[in-house]
Chain A
Amino acid sequence: METKTKSRVLQEFQEASKTLMNPALKKEKDKGAKIIGYFCSYGPAEIITAAGMIPFRIRAIGSTGTDLSDAYLSNINCSFCRNALNMGLAGEYDFLDGLIVLNNCDHVRRIYDNWRRKIKTPLVQMVSLPKKISDPSIQWYYDEMKIVKKAIEDKFNVKITDDKLREAIKLHNETRRLQRKLYDLRKKDNPPITGADTLAVMVAATALPLKQYNQMLKELIDDLSKSEGVGKAKARLLVIGGVLDDPEYIKVIESTGGLVVTDVLCYGTKNFRAEIDEKMKDPIAALAKYYIADRPSCPRMFGDQLRRAQLVKDLVKEFKVDGVIGQRIVFCDLWAGEIYMLNDDLKEAGIPFLKLDREYIMAGAGQVRTRVQAFIESMGR
């Protein structure tokens, strides 16, 4: 099954997902734009945009190995972190003017310590992310956002005004609305776009100048609304799990005849399920509320597992999903636990569930294919 539209825009999205730097981003950089990288969904990208800079989510696509990072991280650390740090050490991230790291997990939080000692990014800033959802923790994150804002202002001699923040929020919300529209097209019995291509589109949002991205995505949605479906899928799948930024992985899953129609992923549904409240007077308060309370949480958020499981069940209904695939990068404790807990919830709800371990760099396609194929067959399809 293939996305039938020959949209030029889709090709650009696909290219952006295959590399770190892409032509559009390079153009901006050459014009003098500053790029600030961030390591996790809790970003916050809006503050970077409000500073007049381009937010760039850190990936390790195209990494050729970990021989540089092996001196710092061990072979029982997450391969995403190992490869990302390696690319940093190899100079592939020299285009960054700043980097924001959050303590979202044990592996990433040490990236901060290693990166600032070894890689010459002008500003390397850490954010302390709460571990639960409560009024005090929202307030904590609010204060952390102010600290980050000030750090960027001081380092780059810019002023991030409330108005600029409001504009940035509007821009990012626009992205969210468009992405939601894109996903809505996949509710159809014969969706016009594959899961692999959708992931490419979602990843591209974190690597392209956003105004441009929104324009392109509008065009793509128009295209897709008029195009043919990808074909009859053997099974409609939902993928959930840890950081997944490589459309190749979804492609392998879909080579079995299954079609990924939705997801609960960092680069997926989580980004647009909720929106930032544009009516709140204090834009930073709006950010804090969105990221901590409203956005579907990451497994690191204690006490929210039932809500996370409910999201999966809701999406299964909304998108008429036949089976759920849970994937995690080996050595990830958070997703090991989340998948372990979700297993009970899905069993209870009678939703078929396949659990996969993977490495960040795509390997063992045949093995993934066999498991997914057997999974689909066991659903009687």
Chain B
Amino acid sequence: MSKVDKAILDKQLERLRGDKTLLQAFVDVLSMDPSEEADINRFVLKTVMDKYDEIMNCAENDIPFMAAYFANCPEIFTAMDVPWWIFLQTPFLGVSSPFLASDTDETEKMGLATDFCTVLRLAMFYVEKNLTPKPAGLIALLHPCDGTVVIHQAIGKTKAWHDVPVFGADSPYWDDERTYKYYGEETKRMVDFVTQCTGKKLDIDRLREVCKISNQTYQLWADYNDLRKAVPCPHDWTIGPPQCFALACYYYPGKIEAVDWFKKLVANAEKRVKAGTGMAAGERIRALWFDILPIMWQFDISPWLEQEWGVNIVMNMFGYTPYEPIDTKNETTMFRGLAKRSLSQVPMIRQARGVADNFLGDIERIVKDYKIDCVIWPGHMGHKDGNASIGMMREKCRELGVPFLSIGLDLFDKRYTAIDEVKDRISKFFQASGLGQKK
């Protein structure tokens, strides 16, 4: 039983339990749909709920768990058999939507500037108010943005987490062998830190197994991404990049469950490509949504895009991760491979970190390979570097001959730019570009 006072523990787990209840409702709805696609999605939701259970179980039974990220070589946690989660998960998924607005307002009262990325502010709020279970150690993510460097220092000053040990792996700016070697060594230090916090050790042979499975997962992901290039794209907004990212990078890095799920996903996509089956509303616009789409925005924007404009977001930032298999020869090659994965190949990190050539190259690649009709930059208020790249993105799209839209919104606060306003701008953009005309 947890040494933490029950009342405090209940408060810490309150939001997690609430999220689970909401997710269960989705799972129940999906259970009524016998299709393969529903089954694929149900598994993802169950996975999310299982993670909540895992962490709640740790909190309730004093089992040490880490707060970490998918960009800190998560295969290592799998290999060390250390429970972990992204403590930003709850605000990130936007599942706690009933609370999102009032929680965001609370952060302003705490004194954090309102131009600071909302999801990070929310994470700060959760810790300040002790609304999240306390980890045995915190891995501070130091890339890609300023906000994350700040938040992991500020967390160390809160009453609730001031005594949580913190480790940040220094991440350089380049994408070359020197960088991967350096980050690999930082990751080794991270391993020592995790051992200190949890008592678990890293076995290199076990890491090898895990990396092999991770390589399989990423290969299947690449296969799936290839299938999405088909016209029409085999899946609609309900299946795609977010689920792939979730299972490969966060919930099952190097775990066989991800491989099994991806096999099902690929099989389903293959079937649909063969039959020429796309989304129900009929695909008229193939879009690149160059950012993430947290759950609540998915529900507000994606169905409307499909029905109103026939838009299929065939690729977004969540999904594009060209990768290199990790060389499992020895410890050095594995750490170098993991480093490369975490710095240059995981979604969002890949696009926001490093020089602009990285993401401009991606845009070019995606537009060509996926026969993209238009590129949309949502312009989340937390992406200061991304918003400083709008001119370059626009010029790249002009070069490629595709129309480009920059919106400007808050992916976590719908009051910043209201949904109707966003829809209006998108509609005007499509009209002006002559896209999406019904035949």
Contact = CB atoms under 8 A, between A and B. Distances in A.
B2 interface: no
A321 B389 CA distance: 42
Contacts of A114: 388, 391-392
B171 A77 contact: no
B170 A132 contact: yes
A274 to B, nearest CB: 21
Interface string B174-211: 10001100100110000000000000000000000000
A292 to B, nearest CB: 11
A333 B389 CA distance: 17
Given A73-B388, A77-B388, A299 B150 contact: yes
Instruction: Give the most central of A78, A113, A330, A338: most B CB within 10 Å.
Output: A113
B168 A333 contact: no
Given A333-B146, A333-B147, A303 B168 contact: yes
A6 to B, nearest CB: 42
Contacts of B150: 299, 333-334, 336-338
Contacts, number: 137
A305 B391 CA distance: 35
A18 B392 CA distance: 32
Contacts of A71: 391, 394
Nearest to A132: B170
A81 interface: yes
A39 interface: no
Contacts of A343: 111
B355 interface: yes
B258 to A, nearest CB: 30
Interface stretch (A21-29, A103-111, A203-211, A214-222): A103-111
Interface in B132-163: 140, 142-143, 145-147, 149-154, 156-157
A328 B168 CA distance: 25
B385 interface: yes
Interface string B93-128: 000000000000000000111011100000000000
Contacts of A338: 150
Interface string A135-167: 011001001000000000000000000000000
B384 A137 contact: no
B18 interface: no
B154 A337 contact: yes
Interface residues of B, number: 48
A72 B388 contact: yes
Contacts of B408: 74, 76
B173 interface: yes
A302 B391 contact: no
Interface in B383-401: 384-385, 387-392, 394
Contact of B384 (A140, A331, A344): A331
Nearest to B380: A76
Contacts of A300: 146, 149
Interface stretch (A123-131, A183-191, A248-256, A364-372): A123-131
B29 interface: no
Instruction: Give the most central of A71, A106, A126, A328: most B CB within 10 Å.
Output: A106
A340 interface: yes
B388 A131 contact: no
Interface string B366-384: 0000000000000101001
B182 A136 contact: yes
Given A73-B387, A77-B388, A341-B157, A302 B152 contact: yes
B278 interface: no
Nearest to A304: B153
A156 to B, nearest CB: 23
A334 B154 CA distance: 11
A337 B156 CA distance: 12
> 3 closest A-B pairs (Cβ-Cβ)?
A337-B150, A72-B391, A128-B173
19 contacts: A72-B391, A72-B392, A74-B387, A74-B406, A76-B115, A81-B388, A110-B356, A111-B388, A130-B170, A131-B168, A132-B168, A143-B178, A328-B113, A331-B115, A333-B145, A336-B112, A336-B113, A337-B112, A340-B111
Interface of B: 111-113, 115-117, 140, 142-143, 145-147, 149-154, 156-157, 166, 168, 170-174, 178-179, 182, 185-186, 355-357, 379, 381, 384-385, 387-392, 394, 406, 408
